[in-house]
Amino acid sequence: MAGHYQNFKTVVYIPAEVARDFTKEKLSNDLAFLEKYIGLDKVYLESHRTDVDVSEEQLLMIKEFLESKGVEVSGGITTTINDFEGAEAGKQRLFETFCYTDPAMRKRLKEISEYAASIFDEVILDDFYFTNCSCERCIQAKGDRDWVDFRRDLLRDVSENLIVKPMKAVNPKVRVIIKYPNWRESYHFTGYVPEVQKDIFDATYTGTETRSVKYTDQHLPEYLSYSLVRYFENGWPGRNGGGWFDTYQCWSIDRYLEQAYLTAFAGAKELMHFMWNDLIDNPLVAPMGLQLKKIDEMLGKDAKPCGIPVYVPFASSGENHLEMRLGMLGLPIEPTPYFPAEAKKLFLTESALADKEIVEKLTEFVRQGGDAVITTGFLREAGEELRKAGLTEARLTGRSHVVTRYHATGDFTGYYENEKGILFPEIMHGNNMSWSLLNGGDGDYHATLFLRSTYGKGRLYVMGIPENDGDLNRMPTAAIDVLKSVLSDGEYYSGKHFSAFTYEDGSLILYRYVKEPIRSDRVTIHTDREVTALIDVASGRKIPARKVVKFVDFRLKEVYEADVMLSPGTFRKYVWEKN
């Protein structure tokens, strides 16, 4: 039964309370369901969660049964625990996470780790391996440090001395995986330190659940299911094990399936379906195997994603998820925690300012010929340094202005009027010292929304971000294309409500989200390569390309275009036919 797909494994997680109550009959019946609708390659079988510890006899029964059916079995731990005798009571611990300064809890965690390693050769930590405890003992241990620095040091100690080293002492072969949650912008506040833990753990895993984004607490863009996998692949090259999603608050089948699609498009090695009991007899699961088979065939063997570098350092926050929103406007995004000095193009949000040397790095990048786009959030915090370095004279006035009219500047472009009003921060600049590629205004007033400056061999652009970054999707397509044409490396994609996933072999996958308006939409693909047609890989259909002249970044260019129609919930793969 193993090995259902060539590009990824299908995986299911079994929590401790489910494992505790399993019978062979239930295992057999459930496995038949999962095999029919998903195709099961592997499970992670949990030995501890909160107040449940599964007996060795029960774990071995499940493990041996599944392995006899060709399913790979690894272990799992969720680092939550109720108050117990010997531990200090009354701590305010969100989600019952451990207090890692409590001697009794530290001892208990070590025992839990050793137990799992005695049974499994691979163990994953579920994403409750963080701390928010601020009890008196933690306050005393923190001393003069802030919470971020204290928890960085604390979780380094716990990771090394209570989890990994004890596990490997019991079982030298054990492979220990840390799974990070989907709230990347807050890791450093709670002790998640990937930049430290990458040197302690054998591999990482990524939470790619986004659920119904309008109504969940975190308001995570759907694109996170792709971009967070790419972020960790660039942060832990070759050691990002997979993406993890669930059925919760997925108030349509498409919303559930989209999580899996994007996780697979990102090149995740494993697609983790959480969790076993929630999948059984769940209609959300029924189409999963059908769709994964299509994706697996479409990807081909060893498809490697690529895109526009976005520098998001470890332990950073600011304009959170903005790059993901751009990814849902058709910009192929490649987030990385390391500054991509060798790239041709670069996008920086406010999060990049966590790197204290970012202005120095940015100055050298542009001076040597790179094109960099910074946001108004970045300009707001680093404007003085940027002006001192000579990169731009632009500044924010501190005022906001309503935009109902857009002007893509240049003799061959035009105006887009009577649009829904959107608030933008006001950017002031020196006329003809820099040049506005996109203006936005209302009445008799307008200001730049996308500004171009030159420095050395390169260019710096300032992008105005709406006060509500969800309003990016309300901008006219032609206005968004100004940004796309600058950031693209010879190819960009016009339209809305879709993502473009690009690969090193030159192929392209387009996906239309199931979002309002729920209708088919046109996407226009622009390239400066000489091509004759765009080929739909699945059907073999050829869409003729047309040659046009466009005004791009202050100059006329000959480009080739082809149009495709995308229906909601649909993914398609394309390649160009060259001359």
Task: Tell me the three state secondary structure of residue 363.
Answer: helix
Q: For the whole prediction, is pTM greater than 0.95? A: yes
Residues 59 and 186 in one domain: yes
Q: Residue 159 corresponds to which amino acid?
A: S
**Which pLDDT does position 553 carry in this prediction?**
73
Residues 513 and 469 in one domain: no
Q: Give me 511's structure tokens.
A: 């996906």
d(CA 332, CA 326): 8
The domain of 567 spans 494-578
- Write out pLDDT tens, residues 60-101: 999 999 999 999 999 999 999 999 999 999 899 989 999 999
d(CA 167, CA 176): 8
**Which pLDDT does position 1 carry in this prediction?**
43
Cα–Cα distances in angstroms (integers) from residue 272 to residues 290, 403, 432, 437, 507, in the given order: 17, 43, 53, 44, 26
Contact 234, 195 (CB under 8 A): no
Residues 294 and 378 in one domain: no
Residues 521 and 456 in one domain: no
CATH number of the domain to which 508 belongs: 2.60.40
**Which pLDDT does position 453 carry in this prediction?**
97
Question: Quick one: CA torsion of 505, 507, 513, 519, rounded to 10 degrees?
Answer: 180
Residues with Cβ within 8 Å of residue 186, at least 6 apart in sequence: 317
Residues 249 and 343 in one domain: no
Residues 455 and 521 in one domain: no
Boundary (domain end) residue, out of 479, 508, 529 = 479
- Write out pLDDT tens, residues 431-484: 999 999 999 999 999 999 999 999 999 999 999 999 999 999 999 999 999 999
Residues 319 and 236 in one domain: no
Residues 547 and 506 in one domain: yes
d(CA 288, CA 37): 6
Residues 443 and 557 in one domain: no
- Write out pLDDT tens, residues 294-340: 999 999 877 899 999 999 999 999 999 999 999 999 999 999 999 99
Name the average pLDDT for the chain. 96
Residues 369 and 313 in one domain: yes
Boundary (domain end) residue, out of 244, 265, 300 = 300
Residues 363 and 334 in one domain: yes
**Which pLDDT does position 301 carry in this prediction?**
79
End-to-end CA distance of the chain: 45
**Which pLDDT does position 556 carry in this prediction?**
81
Q: Is 32 exposed, middle or buried (0-12, 13-18, 19+ CB in 10 A)?
A: exposed
Residues 120 and 225 in one domain: yes
- What's the structural domain count of the chain? 3
* C-alpha neighbours within 13 Å on the C-beta side of residue 18: 20
